[in-house]
Amino acid sequence: MTFELQETTIHGHRVAYRLAGMGPPIILIHGITASSRVWETVGPRLARKHTVLAPDLLGHGQSAKPRGDYSMGAFASGIRDLALSLDLGPATVVGHSLGGGVAMQFTYQFPERTQRLALVSSGGLGRRVHGFLRAATLPGSELVIPLLAGRQVLGAGRAVGRALGRAGVKLGNDALEMARGHASLGDPESRAAFVHTLRASVDVGGQRVQALDRLYLAQELPLLIVWGARDRIIPIDHGRRAHELVPGSRCEVFERAGHFPHLDEPDRFTVLLEDWIASTKPALPDPARFRAALRRDAA
């Protein structure tokens, strides 16, 4: 089944996305410096039973990189608008890394469009995050990133990778995806979008936008948490803590995976997601219950 990149225009900006399949909708949201390409393996498999939408967030992939709002709320609104333009109904929303934070924001802003929530090595569940991302928020990082993403540095990195491959050393998906992310910052527009996106949710102290204080609102929503035990970008403790805070949630740890469990073990990930969807009932919008939860928290 094809999962090819397509394009549309929303609010005057180019938005790239992948769409395939027929059935209950699933929205797949990638992380920072990534794109819908990270879902190329699992997307077509899920599309055998579902309608699968995987957008390139603004500032990422083949979507436009305007000077604008790169907050979680803006990303969530953009996905809502894309889904509406494609006539996609309420969906199971799956977010990886930064995309997990966007998925939670989408659920908070548009509960009527969210049937289930799956968080994969998600941001927004604690402060700790890789030191490179913290450092990239510092003043002047815009001057350093071009050097790190320069042609000579990237060429040297690829040469090292090829040499390791000839020596029988296989680079993991974490290293490969970080290298691809680095390479995606080769032009000024991409670098600016990266810095704006990062600074909207991270500072030198770590992640500053968190959803832990609002997870109680998700107690009526089927929640799946997936993490790689070898994740060095965002610690697995964040996922375990979120699981504890939401009764009835499900937490699956991929022992051999890093920050990209859907790439490290795509077969297992696909089966897990399909089984979880089949075994849970989609959430129904209930403003009265939402209002009651807010009032209980205020009491």
- Which residues are catalytically annotated? 97, 231, 259
Q: What is the 3-state secondary structure (H, E, C) of the chain?
A: CCCCEEEEEECCEEEEEEEECCCCEEEEECCCCCCHHHHCCHHHHHCCCCEEEEECCCCCCCCCCCCCCCCHHHHHHHHHHHHHHCCCCCEEEEEECHHHHHHHHHHHHCHHHEEEEEEECCCCCCCCCCHHHHHCCCCCHHHHHHHHCCHHHHHHHHHHHHHHHHCCCCCCHHHHHHHHHHHCCCCHHHHHHHHHHHHCCEECCEECCCCHHHHHHHCCCCEEEEEECCCCCCCHHHHHHHHHHCCCCEEEEECCCCCCHHHHCHHHHHHHHHHHHHHCCCCCCCHHHHHHHHHHHHC
